[in-house]
C-alpha cells in the first residue's frame, strides 16, 4: 500500500508523510500510523485541557455524531474538530505540502478527506450543531495557541 511507503516527519503536534525511502521498521511504522489516525493527538489534548481549565465539560470522539467529532459540548450544542493540517488538507497552510513521491495518491487521499469533512460539517450544522474547527497550525506556538484557544472559548461562551 502506497500509504505506508512515505516516511513520517513529526512536528510538535502531528506527523506528516515525508517523501524519502522508508527507514522505519514495521513496528515503528504502525506506532506512527496509530499516532496519526488514532485518538488523543497532542493537539486534541491541548485543546481539551484548555477547555477543561475554563470549566467547560465535554465528551470526546462521540461516535453517535457524524464524523465522530473530537470534542462535543452538549450544553452548547457545539462540536470541535481538531484538524491536522496535512491530513485534512488545510488550504494555503505551510504545513500542508504534498509529498513529492506518490503525489497523485496523496492528493487523491487528502481531497477525499476534505470532501468528507465538508459533508460531515454541513450535516452537523443542519442537525443544529455549532461546528468549530481548530487547525494544528493555530496551536503551533504559544501566542498563536493562546489567541486560538481564548477565541474558541469566547465563541462557545457567547452561545450561552
Is the CB of 7 or the CB of 138 nearer to Zn ion?
138
Alpha-carbon dihedral 149, 42, 9, 4, rounded to 10 degrees: -120
Q: Which of residues 59-118 bind Zn ion (CB under 5 A)?
A: 85, 90, 93, 95
CB of 139 to Zn ion, least distance (A): 10
The contact mask relative to Zn ion for 131-150 (x = CB under 5 A, - = no) is ----x-x-------------
Residue with cell 485534512: 88
Q: In what order do the strands lie in the sheet with 130-135?
A: 59-60, 71-73, 78-83, 130-135
Residue with cell 495518491: 105
d(CA 37, CA 76) in angstroms, rounded, equals: 27
Contact flag: residue 47 with Zn ion (CB under 5 A): no
CB of 138 to Zn ion, least distance (A): 7
Binding site for Zn ion (CB under 5 A): 85, 90, 93, 95, 135, 137
Amino acid at each position: 500500500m502506497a500509504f505506508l511507503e512515505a516516511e513520517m516527519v513529526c512536528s510538535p503536534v502531528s506527523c506528516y508523510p515525508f517523501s524519502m525511502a522508508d527507514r522505519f521498521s514495521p513496528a515503528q511504522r504502525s506506532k506512527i500510523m496509530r499516532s496519526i489516525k488514532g485518538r488523543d493527538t497532542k493537539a486534541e489534548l491541548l485543546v481539551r485541557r484548555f477547555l477543561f481549565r475554563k470549566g467547560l465539560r465535554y465528551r470526546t470522539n462521540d461516535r453517535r455524531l457524524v464524523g465522530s467529532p473530537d470534542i462535543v459540548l452538549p450544553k452548547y450544542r457545539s462540536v470541535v474538530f481538531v484538524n491536522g493540517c496535512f491530513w485534512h488538507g488545510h488550504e494555503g497552510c505551510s504545513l500542508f505540502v504534498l509529498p513529492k513521491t506518490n503525489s497523485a495518491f496523496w492528493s487523491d487521499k487528502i481531497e477525499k478527506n476534505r470532501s468528507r469533512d465538508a459533508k460531515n460539517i454541513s450535516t452537523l450544522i443542519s442537525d443544529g450543531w455549532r461546528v468549530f474547527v481548530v487547525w494544528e497550525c493555530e496551536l503551533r506556538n504559544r501566542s498563536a495557541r493562546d489567541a486560538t484557544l481564548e477565541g474558541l472559548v469566547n465563541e462557545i461562551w457567547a452561545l450561552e
